[in-house]
A = this chain, B = another copy of it.
């Protein structure tokens, strides 16, 4: 998606060989006008797939998911990172490894919101090692529901997550796919 790639070129900041800071428009400060263009693109890609729910993971996926959901006219569910006493009853759960934070945590979603008949679009801001996305896929599969595919804002295509998940037969569409990056040369897209 040209608009997103141009924005990454302009405002993204590369740190080392694998950290891309996009916190001025994607995951700390959020440009909702850009999100609307991204949502339209996800709708163009997945609009014919009978999506009934969008599933994301807190926190930085929520904004993109909610704006995207307006184009699909479906609810969003966000997987929570730990169990709180405000979630009663049974939950689906899986484990996600955060390379950013260097730890493993549980994500949960209430069983009442994921039904066998649901056709679920997964939305997230980043795809790198694929741990978060694999965790979301497990939640949907545990519910007996269908993963329609994943809509990712930025895929670090030089890391293994995208290939891993596509090799399982799951459709992954990323609006910007980064082939390589460095502080000297900036970002190169696929």
Give the B-binding residues of A (Cβ under 8 A): 15, 19, 21, 23-25, 28-33, 35-36, 58-59, 62-63, 65-67, 69-70, 73, 75-78, 80, 84-88, 100-101, 109-110, 112-113
Contact = CB atoms under 8 A, between A and B. Distances in A.
Given A28-B110, A113-B29, A80 B67 contact: no
Nearest to A13: B88
Contact of A30 (B78, B80, B84): B78
Contacts of A21: 86, 88
Contacts of A31: 75
Given A19-B85, A35-B66, A66-B67, 6 more contacts: A19-B86, A24-B113, A29-B77, A31-B75, A58-B59, A63-B65
Contact of A66 (B24, B62, B73): B62
A30 B88 contact: no
Contacts of A67: 66-67, 70
A22 to B, nearest CB: 9
5 contacts: A21-B88, A23-B87, A28-B87, A30-B69, A30-B75
- Choose among A63, A65, A77, A100 the residue with the greatest number of B CB atoms under 10 Å from its CB: A63
A30 B66 contact: yes
Which 5 A-B residue pairings sit nearest by Cβ, starting from the closest?
Answer: A58-B59, A63-B66, A62-B62, A59-B59, A32-B69
